[in-house]
Amino acid sequence: MANSMKDEIKTFYGGIAKQVSETSKGSCCSGGSCCCDCGTDSNLYSAEYIADLPVEAINASLGCANPVALANLQKGEIVLDLGSGGGIDVLISAKFVGDSGKAYGLDMTDEMLELANRNKEKSGATNVEFIKGYIEDIPLPDEVVDVITSNCVINLSESKESALKEAYRVLKKGGRLAIADIVEMKDVPDDIRQSVQLWVGCISGALSISDYERILKEVGFTGIEITPVNIYTKDMIKNIAEAENLNDLYAKLDENAVDGAFAGAHVKAYK
Ligand SMILES: C[S@@+](CC[C@H](N)C(=O)[O-])C[C@H]1O[C@@H](n2cnc3c(N)ncnc32)[C@H](O)[C@@H]1O
């Protein structure tokens, strides 16, 4: 592989951000990319969450569930979204924590940060800040955050343990993790796990539920709950492959092996 996985991921998501920015109607899903069914066409976010958000922020959604629904955010809290993309979950969180709170979004891709900042301007939010950096090396001090959210990002990390350690470090004592992520529901063949394209498309980098729990425990989290909420059928994976022009790759896969092998899950835990 010529580039590192991080470079592949940056290029991939940078391209999506540009595409969303350039076409007012185009959504991440119509561009083909996500681990999900996203934006206004989906049931990821009920109306109460997205009612007053800029349409560009909704169209930029690349998540696999709604992490804010898990977070039980309170006025005045500080929330950090890991891999914030176009900013949808940050802008939703900002409404819940109010002016006395703050919502940070962290992302490594310049084009995504630019898109997120434009969406922030359009939303009029004043308690939002997007910062550039890696989830494996969060540019914030220890114990400053009440809640960590993330949506379909930890699965992309080549060092999930580092990312979860960093999440633990920046959380205040008693703070909570409220994540939506892809998990692996059964053993998948090596050709799927090794596919860079399926990795950057969020599929092949997923942890099993037991590995996820083990890493969270090792890092120090307690009260861990991992609940699959959206199990991917072979047809859903085929649709993702088609949207990403990966038909040839999909044709080589054993359909029965991919059927039900991945799910969007809610991950909750406490420091
Ligand atoms: C699947 S998109 C999800 C975006 C957003 N959470 C959402 O729900 O729309 C993944 C995002 O994570 C970012 N990302 C991936 N790996 C990252 C890393 N190691 N550090 C920081 N950002 C990362 C990408 O740039 C991209 O914006």
Q: Can you give the residue range of the structural domain that contains 78? A: 5-270
CATH number of the domain that residue 188 is part of: 3.40.50.150
Q: Cα of 82 to ligand 1 centre, how many Å?
A: 7
Q: Ligand 1 in contact with 108 (CB < 6 A)?
A: yes
Is the pLDDT confidence value at 109 over 80? Answer: yes
pLDDT tens per residue across span 16-75: 898 888 875 444 444 434 454 443 345 689 999 999 999 888 988 888 889 999 999 999
The pLDDT, as a whole number, for residue 144 is 98
Q: Ligand 1 in contact with 221 (CB < 6 A)?
A: no
Provide the 10 A C-beta neighbour count for residue 210: 11
Say what the pTM is.
Answer: 0.92
pLDDT tens per residue across span 234-243: 888 788 778 7
pLDDT tens per residue across span 121-154: 999 999 999 999 999 999 999 999 999 999 999 9
User: What's the total number of domains in the chain?
Assistant: 1
Supply the residue whose CA is at minimum distance from atom 3 of ligand 1: 62
- Residue 182 · residue 64 · CB < 8 Å: yes
Tell me the CA distances in angstroms from 87 to 29, 53, 83, 132, 257, one per residue in order: 16, 10, 9, 13, 34
Supply the residue whose CA is at minimum distance from atom 2 of ligand 1: 62
